[in-house]
Amino acid sequence: MQQDTSSHSSKAKKWLKVAAWVVGLALFLVIGLFSFTIWLERKLERMVKEQSNGIYELQLYGLTASPFVGSLTMDSLYLEPDPKAWQRLSKQGDEVPRTLLQLKTGTINLVNLDYGKVLFKKDMQLDELEVLQPKILVSVMKSDTTKSNKPLHETAKGFMNGLAIGKINVRQATLHYRDSTSTDTIFSVQRLQLFVDDFKLDSTSFAAKERAYYARQYTLKAANSSYNFTDGTYSVLSDSIAVDTKKGELAVHKIALKPLLEPAAMARAKDQAVTHQEIKVKQVKVNGIDFGKHFRENKLHVKYVLVQTPMLNAFKDKQNFRDKGIKKLPHEMVKSIKMPFLVDSMDLKDGYINYAELVPEAAERGYITFHQLNARVTNISNMPEHITTEKPAVINASCMVMDRAKLEATIRLPLLHPNGYHTIKGSIGKANLKMLNPVLMPTGFVRIESGKVNSGRFSAELNKTQANGSITLLYDNLKVELLTKGTGGEQSFGKKILSKLANKVAIKDSNPSEGEKPRTGSITVTRDPGKSVFNYWKECLNSGFLSSMGLEGMAEK
Q: What local confidence, expressed as pLDDT, does residue 145 receive?
A: 67
Question: Tens of pLDDT along 519-542?
Answer: 899 999 999 998 899 999 988 998
Residues linked to residue 225 through DSSP beta bridges, in sequence order: 238
Between CA 16 and CA 367 the distance in angstroms is 97
Q: What is the DSSP letter of 456?
A: E
Angstrom distances, CA of residue 122 to CA of 163, 164, 176, 248, 269 = 9, 11, 32, 34, 55
Q: What local confidence, expressed as pLDDT, does residue 97 receive?
A: 86
Share the mean pLDDT of the chain.
86
User: What does the DSSP assignment read for 333-356?
Assistant: HHHT--S-EEEEEEEEEEEEEEEE
User: What does the DSSP assignment read for 38-77?
Assistant: HHHHHHHHHHHHHHTTTSEEEEEES-EEETTTTEEEESEE
* 3-state SS class at 425: strand
Give the long-range contacts of residues 495-500, CB within 8 A, separation 24 or more: 498/554, 498/557
Beta strands in 245-386 (DSSP E): 249-259, 275-289, 300-317, 341-358, 366-381
Within a 10 A sphere around the Cβ of 436, how many other Cβ atoms?
A: 23
Q: What local confidence, expressed as pLDDT, does residue 264 receive?
A: 96
Domain residue extents for the chain: 28-144+152-228, 246-318, 326-557
Q: What local confidence, expressed as pLDDT, does residue 506 receive?
A: 52
Give 125: exposed, middle or buried? Use CB within 10 Å, 0-12, 13-18, 19+: middle
354: Cβ–Cβ under 8 A, 6 or more apart, which residues? 312, 313, 314, 367, 368, 369
* 3-state SS class at 294: helix
Between CA 246 and CA 60 the distance in angstroms is 34
Residue type, 296: R
Q: What local confidence, expressed as pLDDT, does residue 407 receive?
A: 96
Between CA 212 and CA 199 the distance in angstroms is 10
Q: What local confidence, expressed as pLDDT, does residue 442 receive?
A: 86
Taking 50 as the pLDDT cut, the residues of the chain under it are 1-2, 20, 24-30, 32-34, 489-505, 554-557
Q: What local confidence, expressed as pLDDT, does residue 193 receive?
A: 96
Q: What local confidence, expressed as pLDDT, does residue 154 receive?
A: 83
Is 473:545 a contact under the CB 8 Å cutoff? yes
Q: What local confidence, expressed as pLDDT, does residue 14 receive?
A: 58
Q: What local confidence, expressed as pLDDT, does residue 391 receive?
A: 96
